[in-house]
Chain A
Amino acid sequence: MKLRVVDSDVSDAELLRSVRAGELGASARLYDRFADVVNRVVWRVMGADSEIDDLVQQVFEKILVGIHRVEDPGALQGWVCSIAVYTVRTEIRRRKVRRLVRLTERVPESVGREEDHEGRDLVRRLYAILDRLPVDERLAFALRFIDDRPLVEVAELCDCSLATIKRRLARARKRFERHASKDPDFARRLKQGQWRRSGS
């Protein structure tokens, strides 16, 4: 995967070796290296969520279980990213099913700066709209427009061709626009690109 590489291959190779060898503290070092990468995907796709820490832990658990399959240390970061995307995807599907059978009602956690009520409200409304998109469309939409990744990278993370991801995004945009239109204030701000009230 052509994803951004933060550290050198040598240190990734060393990290890979120590985790595989089960060295004491290797999991914590793995977390230190990839906490930002994993949190970024989870936060931006899931948004204001009360179960974010559980999800991050699930991602790292999958990484620890599957890391023996990574042959090339240079591919480690891309692989970690794709594990985060697929863990989040599974979680969204699980929640959709639970919501269908009304096992849980999500209670969004407060996010952002405490005093930024307006921003937090907009984010809550945005993720309420994203909750209504099909899971693959939501993933593509969030990775492209919220996580600000280029199309090629979104296609790689979703394991699809560029053409498929473009079609999926086009459908997601239409659906997003349709759902957003039911929230006139949100739709107006979206159209005008104005998210801050004057003076705030």
Chain B
Amino acid sequence: MNDESLEKMGDEVRRVIGDQPDEERRRRQRAAVAALESPGLSRGQGRPSRLRWLVPMGLTFAAVAAVLAWPDAPAVENEPVATSDALPPAAPPVEQWLKAPKDGPMDIALGSHAHGILHAGGKLRIAEQSESGARLVLESGRVELEVDHGQAGNWIVLAGPYEARALGTRFLVDWFPLGEDLAVEVTRGEVGVTGGNLGPGGMVVEAGKVLEANLRDESATLRSKREVDLELSPPRFAGRIPDVDQDPVLARTWASYYLRAHPEGDQIDIARELFLRSFADEREHPDAAAAAQGYLEANPDGPHAALAREILGASDSPPQ
């Protein structure tokens, strides 16, 4: 089953069921939606709930809590963080929610040993901060943290159930809360990531690597940043097959595309071989065992069968 057969199936389904209601159905749907028009619904209150008494009670409780907490409340709460070219920007108050504008990043001052950038549209708050560390809670989006060498251990980004702890480093954390999806990309040093589905010891991400974890799928994959970049912006090969000895990651990108798109193409044997050989120095890669198995099924006595068997022998688990 390749992409082409699935696309043909999709064409057929769209042809049969279409995607537009007929006039009668459209009239029914429109009337039902128009009937939803009631005072309050469009202002975010929803339908009256049997638990509506909770709202005034909650508001009262929140008002009491706000009065009690007033002396500690920051003076600039919910105001944009002021920055200046002449002076280092003041650290935003603890517990204040920060939201980067949709069209650009926002600097986050974190003292003299660290600096943060909240990328466009991202939202976070600083739960704790001192000269030697900070705990940032990333609600959604991407935050980039740069910590001076030697300032290890106390610089932490919390993203859903995950915790990324800097070990003298520069790194990025992406958090998609609705999809419960995390990506941690390390540019310098190391980052220890724990929580979620990462098991008791968590995982250490080294410079040049990207950890991608998803709570729903219970998946966690460590790959090179180059491989991830190639996946996001696939190059145009224009008929040229990359040299696997010179650039195994590029050769892997070509081979995985070819295997997926042309399962019966005339270069399928070359693709299988390059896909396998691209893992020669990365035998723990999550796709290595599948590459080895695919090669052996097609070429049990091929010139690289020994490499495939070594990879399969070294892998802890069968390919997914």
**Contact surface of A with B, Cβ cutoff 8 Å:** 19-22, 24-28, 30-32, 35-36, 39-40, 43-44, 47-48, 53, 56-57, 60-61, 64-69, 72, 75, 86, 111-113, 116, 119-120, 122-123, 126, 136, 145-148, 158-164, 166-168, 170-171, 173, 176-177, 180, 190-193, 195-196
Within 8 A of A (CB), among B209-263: 212, 214, 216-217, 219, 221, 223, 228, 231-232
Determine whether the beta carbon of B1 is less than 8 Å from that of A31.
Answer: no
Name the contact of B1 in the complex, choosing from A39, A119, A123, A173 (C-beta under 8 A): A173
Among residues of A, the one whose C-beta sits closest to the C-beta of B30 is A31
Q: A65-B45, A68-B44, A160-B214 are in contact. Are A111 and B16 (CB under 8 A)?
A: yes
* Interface assignment of B10: CB less than 8 Å from any CB of chain A: yes
Determine whether the beta carbon of B212 is less than 8 Å from that of A123.
Answer: no
Interface of A is mostly: helix
Determine whether the beta carbon of A31 is less than 8 Å from that of B42.
Answer: no
Determine whether the beta carbon of B181 is less than 8 Å from that of A177.
Answer: no
* Interface assignment of B74: CB less than 8 Å from any CB of chain A: no
| Centre residue among A22, A67, A170 by max chain B CB count within 10 A | A22
Cα–Cα, bound, A39→B18 (Å) = 10
Please encode chain B, from 1 to 36, with 1 for each CB lying within 8 Å of some chain A CB and 0 for all others.
100111111101111111111000110111011101
List 20 extra interface pairs beyond A61-B47, A164-B214, A193-B5, CB under 8 A: A25-B34, A25-B37, A27-B33, A27-B36, A31-B30, A35-B21, A48-B17, A56-B29, A57-B33, A57-B36, A60-B32, A60-B36, A64-B41, A116-B16, A160-B214, A161-B174, A164-B217, A168-B217, A171-B217, A193-B8
Among residues of B, the one whose C-beta sits closest to the C-beta of A186 is B9
Q: A64-B42, A161-B176 are in contact. Are A167 and B217 (CB under 8 A)?
A: yes
Determine whether the beta carbon of A171 is less than 8 Å from that of B42.
Answer: no
**Contact surface of B with A, Cβ cutoff 8 Å:** 1, 4-10, 12-21, 25-26, 28-30, 32-34, 36-37, 39, 41-47, 102, 174, 176-179, 181, 183, 212, 214, 216-217, 219, 221, 223, 228, 231-232, 320
Q: A-B contact count, CB below 8 Å?
A: 177
Determine whether the beta carbon of B39 is less than 8 Å from that of A163.
Answer: no
Cα–Cα, bound, A164→B231 (Å) = 12
Cα–Cα, bound, A30→B37 (Å) = 11
State how many angstroms separate the Cβ of B230 from the closest Cβ of chain A: 12
Determine whether the beta carbon of A158 is less than 8 Å from that of B179.
Answer: yes
Determine whether the beta carbon of B10 is less than 8 Å from that of A148.
Answer: yes
Name the contact of B19 in the complex, choosing from A19, A30, A43, A162 (C-beta under 8 A): A43
CB neighbours (8 Å) of B179 from chain A are 158-160, 164
Q: A119-B12, A122-B12, A190-B9 are in contact. Are A65 and B178 (CB under 8 A)?
A: no
CB neighbours (8 Å) of A66 from chain B are 44
Name the contact of A68 in the complex, choosing from B5, B21, B43, B212 (C-beta under 8 A): B43
A-B contact pairs, 21 of them (CB 8 A): A22-B43, A24-B37, A26-B37, A27-B33, A27-B36, A27-B37, A32-B30, A53-B29, A57-B33, A60-B33, A65-B45, A67-B44, A68-B43, A112-B18, A122-B13, A123-B17, A146-B13, A167-B217, A171-B320, A190-B5, A193-B9
